[in-house]
C-alpha cells in the first residue's frame, strides 16, 4: 500500500511540475512584459505547493514501509528516497522566497543584458548569490557535503569538486596547449581553402523552416513539441510537450541552426524517456551531464561532421534558396561550422574553446558560493580568467562577459560543470556507437538517423534514472568515463 501512495504522490508532483515548466517556457517566449509580477507570484505559489507536497512528513513513513514488487519499483523507491532527502533540505518559505527572487532577477537580466547595464543588475544578482549561499549551506548540512558539492549534486548526483578539479585541471592544461595547435592547423587549411563569407540577409522565416526540417530529420516528434524564439536558447516544457527555443541573426544562419540542433538533442532525450515511469523520479533524465551529452552528441558529433553536411547541404538550398551560399562545398561548410577562435560568448564558442568558458564559470561560482568572491567583484575576476585562458578582455563589456548567461540570474549554481562533462560523455558515446554500428557514417550521409537514435534510446533514453551517472556511462559504452575520448576527438577533427 505504501508504494501505491508514493505512486499517487508522483502523479500529483508530475502535474505541478508540468504547470511550472509550461508557465516558465511561456514566460520566456510569449508573456507580455506587464505580466511579470503576477507570473512570478503564480510560479512562486506553485513552487511552494510542489515543495509542500514533496516534503510532507508522512512520505518518510511511506518510503520506510514500502514493499516493492518488482525491480523497477525497487529502483524507483531508491530514487523516491533520494528525492525526498534533497527536497526536505529546504523550508517551503525559502523555496517561495528563492523562486520570487530568481524570477525577478531573470526578468531584469533580459532587459538589462541588452544594455550592458551591470550596475543596475548587480543588486538583483547580489540577492540571488545571498540566497544561493543560504541554499548551499542548507543542502550541505543535510547531505553532509561541502556547500558547492551540495549544489552540484542537484544537477549531477555524485559530482564532487575533488574529482572535477583534477579532471578540469588536466583538461585546462591540455586545452591551453591545444588551442594554439588547432589555430595553427586551421591557418594551414584556410591557406588552401580560404574561408568564404555568408551572403545574407537570411529571412528569419526561412531560417525557421530550415531548423524545423533539421529537427524533423534527426527525429524530433512535433506531435509532442514545438520551436519558439527566446533571448537565450533552451529546451523546456515536459516530455509530452517539449518547448524548444532558438534565436536568429539575419546576417548568417549557422549559429541558429546549430543552436536548434543542440536543443533538439535535449528534446530527443526528453521525448525518449520511458512513459510508464514519467511520474516517478526513476523516469526522469539522469542528471545534466547526461542531458548535455545528448545535446552535444547531436550538435558536435553529428552536425559538425562531413557526413552530416552531405545530407544537410541540399536542405539549406531547399529552404534558404539555391543562392543562399553560392559556390559553397562541404569543405567550405566545415571551415565555417568547425571554425576555431578565441571568442567572448559561451553559447557561440567552438568545441575546442568551449570547455575553457565552462571551467572559468566553474571556478568563479565555487568562489561565489564559498564566499571567496562577491558579486561586485565578478567583472574583474571574469576578465582575469578570460585573459589568461583565451587571451581576450571583457573588462569593459559586461553584456558579452558576466551578463551573457541566464544561469546565475536564475540561481542555477553548480550547473555549468555538466556542459563539459557532457562533451566528454558524448565523445565516448560516439566511439561506442561507431564500434557497434560500423556503417553509421554512411547512414548519416544519407540522412538516416534511425540507427543512431535506436542506440541512444536503448542505452541512454529508456534507462532514465535506473543507474547512477557513472554506472550509466559504463553500461552504455563498456567502460567508465575517460576524457581521452574527447581529446582524441578534438585531435582527429582539428589537427587532421
Report the b/e string of 240-276 with b at 16+ CB within 10 A.
Answer: ebbbbbbebeeebbbbbbbbbbbbbbbbbbbbbbbee
Q: Dig out the grid coordinates for 305 from the structure.
A: 561532421
What order of strands is seen across the sheet that includes strand 235-238? 225-229, 241-246, 235-238
Binding site, by residue number, is: 262, 266, 292
Binding site for Zn(2+), by residue number, is: 262, 266, 292
Burial degree of 103 (CB within 10 A; 0-12, 13-18, 19+): buried
d(CA 415, CA 358): 10
Report the b/e string of 365-385 with b at 16+ CB within 10 A.
Answer: bbebbeeebebeebbebbbeb
Cα dihedral angle (448, 221, 460, 305), rounded to 10 degrees? 40
Q: Dig out the grid coordinates for 192 from the structure.
A: 588552401
Q: What are the average pLDDT values for consecutive 10-residue runs of the chain, which has 496 residues?
A: 91 96 94 93 93 94 94 94 89 89 93 95 97 97 94 88 88 94 97 93 97 98 96 92 96 94 98 96 95 96 97 97 93 96 92 96 98 98 96 94 96 94 95 98 98 98 92 92 91 93
A 10 A CB-CB count for 85 gives 14
Report the b/e string of 296-320 with b at 16+ CB within 10 A.
Answer: bbbbbbbbbbebbbbbbbebbeebb
- Residue 1's pLDDT is 65
Mark whether 263 is an active-site residue.
Answer: yes
Residues 315, 447: contact at Cβ < 8 Å? no
- DSSP 8-state code for residue 466: S
Phi/psi of residue 34, each to 5°?
-75, -5
**Sign for the pseudo-dihedral over CA of 419, 357, 330, 323:** positive
- Residue 407's pLDDT is 95
DSSP per position, 90-137? S-HHHHHHHHHHHHHHHHHHHHHHTTT-HHHHHHHHHHHHHHHHHHHH
d(CA 31, CA 234): 16
Q: Which of 27, 263, 270, 351 is catalytic?
A: 263
Question: Taking the CA atoms of the chain, what radius of gyration do you get in angstroms?
Answer: 22
Residues 254, 195: contact at Cβ < 8 Å? no
- Contact partners, residue 26, CB within 8 Å, separation at least 6: none
Please give the model's pTM, rounded to 2 decimal places: 0.86
Amino acid at each position: 500500500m505504501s508504494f501505491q501512495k508514493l505512486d499517487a504522490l508522483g502523479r500529483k508532483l508530475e502535474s505541478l511540475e508540468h504547470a511550472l515548466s509550461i508557465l516558465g517556457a511561456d514566460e520566456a517566449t510569449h508573456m507580455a512584459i506587464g505580466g511579470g509580477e503576477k507570473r512570478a507570484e503564480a510560479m512562486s505559489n506553485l513552487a511552494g505547493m510542489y515543495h509542500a507536497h514533496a516534503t510532507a512528513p508522512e512520505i518518510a513513513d511511506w518510503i520506510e514501509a514500502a514493499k516493492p514488487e518488482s525491480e523497477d519499483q525497487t529502483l524507483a523507491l531508491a530514487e523516491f528516497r533520494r528525492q525526498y532527502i534533497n527536497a526536505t533540505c529546504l523550508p517551503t518559505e525559502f523555496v517561495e522566497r528563492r523562486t520570487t527572487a530568481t524570477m525577478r532577477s531573470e526578468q531584469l537580466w533580459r532587459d538589462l543584458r541588452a544594455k550592458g547595464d551591470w550596475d543596475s543588475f548587480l543588486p538583483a544578482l547580489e540577492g540571488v548569490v545571498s540566497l544561493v549561499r543560504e541554499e548551499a549551506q542548507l543542502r550541505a548540512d543535510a547531505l553532509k557535503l561541502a556547500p558547492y558539492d551540495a549544489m552540484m549534486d542537484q544537477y549531477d548526483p555524485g559530482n564532487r569538486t575533488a574529482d572535477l578539479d583534477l579532471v578540469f585541471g588536466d583538461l585546462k592544461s591540455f586545452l591551453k596547449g591545444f588551442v594554439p595547435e588547432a589555430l595553427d592547423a586551421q591557418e594551414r587549411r584556410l591557406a588552401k581553402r580560404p574561408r568564404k563569407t555568408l551572403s545574407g540577409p537570411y529571412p528569419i522565416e526561412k531560417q525557421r523552416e530550415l531548423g524545423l526540417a533539421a529537427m524533423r530529420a534527426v527525429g524530433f516528434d512535433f506531435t509532442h513539441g514545438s520551436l519558439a524564439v527566446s533571448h537565450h536558447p533552451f529546451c523546456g516544457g515536459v516530455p509530452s510537450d517539449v518547448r524548444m527555443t532558438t534565436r536568429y541573426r539575419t546576417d548568417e544562419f549557422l549559429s541558429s541552426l546549430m543552436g536548434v540542433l543542440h536543443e533538439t538533442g535535449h528534446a530527443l532525450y526528453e521525448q525518449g524517456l520511458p512513459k510508464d515511469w514519467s511520474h516517478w523520479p526513476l523516469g526522469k533524465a539522469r542528471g545534466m551531464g547526461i542531458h548535455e551529452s545528448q545535446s552535444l552528441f547531436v550538435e558536435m558529433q553529428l552536425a559538425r561532421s562531413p557526413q552530416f553536411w552531405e545530407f544537410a547541404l541540399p536542405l539549406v538550398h531547399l529552404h534558404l534558396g539555391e543562392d543562399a551560399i553560392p559556390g559553397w562545398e562541404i569543405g567550405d561548410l566545415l571551415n565555417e561550422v568547425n571554425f576555431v577562435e578565441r571568442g567572448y560568448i559561451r553559447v557561440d564558442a567552438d568545441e575546442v574553446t568551449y570547455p575553457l568558458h565552462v571551467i572559468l564559470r566553474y571556478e568563479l561560482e565555487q568562489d561565489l558560493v564559498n564566499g571567496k568572491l562577491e558579486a561586485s567583484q565578478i567583472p574583474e575576476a571574469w576578465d582575469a580568467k578570460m585573459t589568461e585562458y583565451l587571451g581576450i578582455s571583457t573588462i569593459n563589456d559586461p553584456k558579452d562577459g558576466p551578463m551573457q548567461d541566464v544561469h546565475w540570474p536564475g540561481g542555477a549554481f553548480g550547473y555549468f560543470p555538466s556542459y563539459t562533462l557532457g562533451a566528454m560523455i558524448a565523445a565516448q558515446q560516439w566511439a561506442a556507437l561507431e564500434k557497434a554500428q560500423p556503417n553509421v557514417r554512411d547512414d548519416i550521409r544519407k540522412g538516416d538517423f534511425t540507427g543512431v537514435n535506436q542506440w541512444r534510446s536503448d542505452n541512454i533514453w529508456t534507462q532514465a534514472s535506473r543507474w547512477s551517472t557513472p554506472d550509466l556511462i559504463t553500461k552504455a559504452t563498456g567502460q567508465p568515463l575517460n576524457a581521452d575520448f574527447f581529446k582524441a576527438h578534438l585531435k582527429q577533427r582539428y589537427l587532421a
